[in-house]
Every structure is written in C-alpha cells, then in structure tokens.
A and B are shown apart, each in its own frame.
Chain A
Amino acid sequence: MKRRALILSVALALSGCGPSTPHNTGVYLLIDTSGSYNRQVRQAEHITLYALSRLQSADSIAVARIDTGSFTERDIIAKATFDDRPSTANQQKRAFASHVEKFIDQSSPAAYTDITGGLLQAIEFLNEKHTARKEILILSDMKEDLAKGYVRDIPLDFRGFDVVALNVTKLRTDNFDPRQYLSRLDEWRVRVEKGGGHWRVINDLDHLDGLL
C-alpha cells in the first residue's frame, strides 16, 4: 500500500515537473497598402497599440504589409517576442509602437494586393512561434488583386488560427452592387473555415473589446 502511494506521488510530481503547455498568444497584423486602401493605413497604428496593450510576456507580434507580393519576410515591418521579464517586455512594446508609427508615416501605396501571400506568411510565422493562440488580423478591403504570374490558388491550413478581418471598407463598385461585398466576405469566410480556421469581421474599430 505504501509502495503504491509512493509510486503515485512520484508520478504526480513528475507530471507536475514535465513540460507545461504554452499559454502565450501570437498576433500577426496584415496591413493592406494597396491604392484602394492606403488611406485607411492610419488605422493600423490604433490596432497595433491596442494589440500591444493586450499582449503579455512571451507573446509574439508581427506587423506586415500587403503589397504586390506579400509572401516574403521583407514585408514584415516589425516583429517581436516579448521577454519573460515584464519590464523588458514594456520596453519592447514601446520600441515596437515607435517602429510601426514610423512605417505608417512613410507608407506608400502598392500596385497590387496579395492577401493570400500575406496570409501564408502569417501562418508560417505563427507556426514557427508555437504559440498557444494564433490570431491573424487583416486590415484590408479584402479585395485581392494579383499581379500577373503570381499563383495563389492554393489551400491554406488555418487549423488553430483565428482570422479577423478589420475595417473591411466598401469599394465604389460595392455600393452599386452590395452583393459583391457580401460575396467577397463570404468567399474569404469559406476559405478560412475550409482551412480549419475561425473567421470573424470587425468593422467598428472603436469597439475592439472582443479582440484578443
């Protein structure tokens, strides 16, 4: 009986000391810099600051732009994994905010909009970080416009991802035919959910409480 109790207590102690499951969050913010959306880029600062205020030590964040070809590390404007120590994490947050602000001030419109490439880059980045929670935020009108030669008709693996489309503005053509807007959003929803992800749209940037 005593032996069993000893084995049980050792097993419990070992299970307690084993590698613990991650509790951190990874956020990847995609900013559409195409001509049709460039005017909205200023909103990215607001969202970045909000995300930074919600993130804690060991969380990861990256901000990247969507341009003609977005499946590249060069489009990542800033990235950070916050330190274990809260004071260092705070310093990193301040530096990150400053970096993003600088980018927004110097942002120039892109000719094309490669949303899928940006999403692929986001998936790759967050999978590398092995975060418990993965959030991809897209600040875009969700109108993909690929340059000639770019192949983006590929399945995306969104398992474990939350994809949030933010401030999805209506295009001029959407005003003539709202079905275009609705079908555009629906297509993205289907694509994300088909990839195993969770899709959400938040257009009111003053109420980001549900985000993160």
Chain B
Amino acid sequence: MSMTTLLTFTPWPAVSAAILLILLVAALYFARDTAHQAIHVAASALARGLKVASLSVTHAQQNLAARNREVLLAAGREAKERIVEREFTRVGDTVRKDLAGYPVMHRRLSEAIQRIEEDQQKAVEVPPEVPGWTEAVKVVADLDARNAGADILADIHKSMVKAHAEAMDAWRKASSERHALLRRMMPDWRLIQETLGRVNKSVDSIIGRSQAIDRHMEEYEAIVRGEDRAVAVLSSSSIVYFFVSALVLAVATAGTAVNFTLIARPMAEMVGGTNYIGAWRTADIAALVIIMVEISMGLFLMETLRITRLFPVIGALSDKTRVRMMMTTFMILLLMASIEAGLAYMREVLLLDEMATNALLRGDSAGEAVNAHLWITTAAQMGMGFVLPFALVFVAIPLETFVHSLRTVVGLLGIAVLRALALVLRLLGNASRHLGALAQRLYDLPLFVPLWIENRMRAAAREAAGAQVTEAHT
C-alpha cells in the first residue's frame, strides 16, 4: 500500500494525513509503556552482556598478570640463585686460595717474628759497669799525708782514662752490633707488613663479596616473598633485557647475512646453481643450513660450558658426558669454520673466473683486471669465513636472554591489551544503557501533545484531590 493510497481514504489528502498522524500518535502513546519496557530490557541486556564480557576479560587479565608475576618471580629467583651461587664460588675460591697459602704464610710470619725477637734480645743495650776506681780515689783522697796520694791519684787517673777509652771502644762496638741487628730486622718487618697487607686485601675482598651476597640475598628474599617492588624491578629489567638482546640479535642477524653472502656463491658449485626447492635456490638453502648448523653447534657449546641454560637435558648430563659433548661440538664447529674459510676462498676464485669470462665477452683483456693486492681481500674473506662461525657462538647468550624476556614482554603486552579490551567493553556497556534511555526519550518526542495533556490532567487530578482533602479537614 503506497502513501498516495493511504492519503485517499478522505477526499482531502491533508485531512487524511492529519487523521493518520493522530492515529499513529495515539497508537504510539498507547504502546508507550510496552515500548519503553522493550527498549529498557534490550539496552539492559546488552549492557549486562558487555559488563559480563568486560568482567571476563578483566578476570583473564588478572590471571595473565598473576601468571606473568609467577614467571617473573621464578625467573628472578633463578637469576638471583645463579648470582649468589657464583658469588659463593668466588668467595670459596678466594678463601681456598688464601687458606692454601696460610701454613706457609704462618710459618714465614713466625720465623720473622722469632728472628726479630732474637735480634731484639741481642740488641738490648747493656749499661757500662761503674768503674771501681771511684771508691779507691775517695780513699786515697781522704789520706791525711801530704802529697802522699798524688802519685797514686795520677796513676789512677791514667788508668781511668785508659779504662774509659777501652769502655768507649767496647760501647761503640756494641752499639754498632746493635745497629746491625736492628738493620737486619727491617726486611722481616717489611715481610710481615706485606704479608699482613695481603691478608688485609683478601679479607677486604671477602667482606666486599659478603656484602654483595647480603644485598643479593635481601633481593632474593624480597623475590621469594613476592613483594611488589621486586616484581616491578624484575619487570623493568626484563623489558631492558628484551630490547638489548633484540639489538644484539639484530647485529648477529647482520653477521649471518654477511656469512651467507660469503658462502652462497660457492655453494652453487657444490649443489648446483639452478635447482630450486619451492621458490628458493637449493644453493641458498644449503648455505643457510650450514649457518644454522653452526649456530646450533654454538648453542650446544654454550650449553655444555654451562654459560646458557636453554636445554636442561644438557645441563643435567654428567660432567664426563658434558665434556665429551663439548669437545664434539667444538670439533664440528672447527670443521665448519674451516669449510667456510675454504668456501670463501672458492668464492674469490669463482669471482675472478666470472670477471675474466665477462671481460672476454665484453672484448676486454682478461689480464688487465687482475689486481696485485687481491690477496688481501681473499685473505680477509677467508678470515671472516673462519671467524664468523665462532663469533656466532656467542649469539646463544642474547638468544637466551631474549627468549626469557620475551615471555615477560609478551605477557605485559597481553595484560595491556586485555586491560584496554575490558575498558572498551565497559564503556560500550555504559553507552548501551545510556543509548536505551536516549531511545526512550526519542520515542516520546512525537508524543509531546498527548504527554502534555496527560501531565495537565494529572496535575488537575492532583489539585482536585488536594481540594477534597482540604474540604474534608475544614
């Protein structure tokens, strides 16, 4: 039924339109409560659904945060254990080293002290004896005879001067001996000083290490207790480690690319330059495989050296097996490095051959292109071919850090995404509730006339009821 047909049920379309409008408004007015309820129920249901979804996402985010926290604390605990273990090993080494030398040091100190004591005893100054002449002189002087004791006194004086001279000589000699003994003590004193200095240094080192261990233990205890501060520190460290290790891995990737360039061309001589596996040349894949095998050997080498701990199985091997594995991986790595050096040399030979052929095809003389210093680049290429596999061994360290920190960083990113999602869902829930209210208001908009009339009638009814109550009271 078209609009035109609807407007023809009276001869006057305007009247028809007015009647239709009135009917429509009346229908909307009578259906108002039901419509409001429907809108309210729909909006509430949507809001509730979004709220439930938001709560669910929040719950997932909390679970992830808890899991991330556990992972962080476990990683932190493990790292601290390694640090403390290493510190204890160092302290042990220091103590073992010093204690191993302790009997010798003790003997040397005792001997030095004994020598000093002996020398000191020998160097004690013996006071010169009081000459016995003094009493005799007094006796002679007291004699009452005239000039009777003058000769005696002169003799005594002579003897005294002589005795004094002899005593002085003896004293000088004794002093000289004492000084010699004291001089002899000097090296012993120095020895004692040096030995005690060394002991002091060792003790200081042990004290320093014990303080470091105390600090690490405090941090370890904080981690074990699961303190928020410890988690925050670990989280921040993890992000830093992630970016640093990613940077180092990027450098290692560049090194791998250089390595690949060195061996890709000569690999074509070995496996053919025209075979393809999928969209990739077999020679390129072979070169990549060689590099990957080298990196794998590097990882195993680092594992067997217990520098990294990516494979617990290797760490749990007995020392004998581990050393055997270390030797094997090192030998394979050495072999690969030698092969790479050979391939790098072959690359230069092939390059020269190709240059000569191209020169011939261009009509140039092939001999003119040969450079006398070309051996430098050849040697450099061979050197790089040999060294790069060993350099790539150290990729294991940043790789381990990257793998460990990646777990935390991905967890943090997941938490952030889930948190944002929960917020968006909550906002949408609130928005749907408000949109329901808005829809109710919009529904009422065309009904303003009947609603106004309804309000007026209600107001009149309230006034009438108020008047009746007043009359009843009066």
Residues of chain A whose beta carbon lies under 8 Å from any beta carbon of chain B: 15-17, 20-21, 23-24, 49-50, 52-53, 56-58, 84-87, 89-90, 93-94, 97
With beta carbons under 8 angstroms apart, the residue of B268, B275, B278, B363 that contacts A86 is B268
Binds A, one of B76-84, B304-312, B349-357, B404-412: B349-357
Tell me whether chain A's interface is mostly helix, strand or loop, or mixed: helix
Taking A20-B278, A87-B353, A90-B353 as contacts, is the C-beta distance between A57 and B361 under 8 angstroms? no
Q: 20 more A-B contacts (CB under 8 A) besides A20-B275, A49-B362, A86-B269? A: A15-B278, A16-B277, A20-B276, A20-B278, A21-B276, A23-B274, A49-B361, A50-B361, A53-B358, A53-B361, A56-B274, A57-B273, A57-B274, A85-B269, A89-B273, A90-B353, A90-B357, A93-B357, A94-B357, A97-B361
| Given A90-B353, A93-B357, also A84-B362 (CB < 8 A) | no
Distance between Cα atoms of A21 and B361 in the complex (Å): 29
Query: Would B272 and A57 count as touching, CB distance under 8 A?
Result: yes
Q: How far is the CA of A21 from the CA of B268 in the complex (A)?
A: 18
A85 touches B360 (CB 8 A): no
Q: Which residues in B have some Cβ–Cβ distance to A below 8 Å?
A: 265, 268-269, 272-279, 350, 353-354, 356-358, 360-363
Q: Which residues of A contact B275 (CB under 8 A)?
A: 20, 84
10 sampled A-B residue pairs with Cβ under 8 A: A20-B275, A20-B276, A56-B274, A57-B268, A84-B272, A86-B268, A86-B350, A86-B354, A87-B353, A97-B360
Residues B350 and A87 in contact, CB atoms below 8 Å apart = yes
For residue A85, which residues in chain B have a CB less than 8 angstroms away from its CB? 268-269, 272-273
Q: Determine whether the beta carbon of B354 is less than 8 Å from that of A16.
A: no
User: From residue A5, how far is it (CB to closest CB) to chain B in Å?
Assistant: 20
B278 surroundings in chain A (CB, below 8 A): 15-16, 20
Contacts of A50 in B (CB 8 A): 361
Q: What is the bound-complex CA distance between A56 and B363, given in angstroms?
A: 19
User: In the complex, what residues of A have CB within 8 A of residue B356's CB?
Assistant: 90
Complex interface: chain A residues within 8 A of B272 (CB): 57, 84-85
Complex Cα distance A24/B363, Å? 25
CB B43 to nearest CB in A, in angstroms, measures 38
Establish whether residues A94 and B268, one from each chain, have CB atoms under 8 Å apart when the complex forms.
no
- Inter-chain contacts of B277 with A (CB < 8 A): 16-17, 20
